[in-house]
Amino acid sequence: MRILLVEDHPQLAASVSQALKSAGWTVDVLHDGVTADLALSTEEYALAILDIGLPRMDGFEVLARLRGRGKTLPVLMLTARSEVKDRVHGLNLGADDYLAKPFELSELEARVKALLRRSVLGGEQQQRCGDLVYDLGTRRFSLLDKSLSLTSREQAVLEAMIARPGRVMSKEQLAAQVFGLDEEASAEAIEIYVHRLRKKLEGSSVRIVTFRGLGYLLEAVGG
């Protein structure tokens, strides 16, 4: 799952980004509202963490423009402002949650998981496809009741697929979830990750089906 972090304080952005990456998420970091607005209009994210006090365009305006485009992407707003009216304003614009500075990174991670659980898994803690189970709380996959060992890239591909049951995902869509803005997205690399995942899913009721010219579908055999 790919997260956009927009924070103009370099040290805070670096520490938050590192914490999220250590938890296994792909993170893009931007530092002003204009570039954030562009990224949100052209890239696909599972969640945005948006500071209010941004240069060039503040977080409220970025959020308003996002919702004005009809996007339901969950947004967690970071703020140094304690006034209730600011929080109410953000919530009225469509923010999903608020976190006041300073904050503990563990609380930020917990709030991110809660927002993703509601938006991606429909409020459920686990997503299941045949013998494959994904637990959002631990961000672990299990297959036939045994932990499934995955690289970070394989994990990102499988997370994207299990979060969209019954949906064929193109190589480009999967690459958008796996690679950040500072990396070169590669459709060929997606083919490699899918090949590896197929081998790891062998002997179970789960398979990855190729639809030529369209992409891949994760499905339970006989489901």
Q: How many residues does the chain have?
A: 223
Give the residues across from 208 on adjacent strands.
218
**CATH 3.40.50.2300 spans which residues of the chain?**
2-119
User: The whole model's pTM is what?
Assistant: 0.72
Check residue 210 and give its pLDDT.
93
List, run by run, the mean pLDDT of 10-residue segments along the chain (223 residues).
92 94 89 96 92 94 94 91 77 90 91 83 74 85 92 90 86 85 83 95 93 92 67
Strands 75-79 and 47-51: parallel
Q: In this predicted structure, what is the pLDDT of residue 77?
A: 93
Q: 2-119 architecture in CATH?
A: 3-Layer(aba) Sandwich (3.40)
What's the pLDDT at 122? 59
> Could you tell me where the beta strands, DSSP code E, fall in the chain?
2-6, 26-30, 47-51, 75-79, 97-100, 126-129, 132-135, 140-143, 146-147, 206-211, 215-220
The CATH architecture to which 126-220 belongs is Orthogonal Bundle (1.10)
pLDDT value at residue 120:
66
Delimit the CATH 1.10.10.10 region(s) of the chain: 126-220
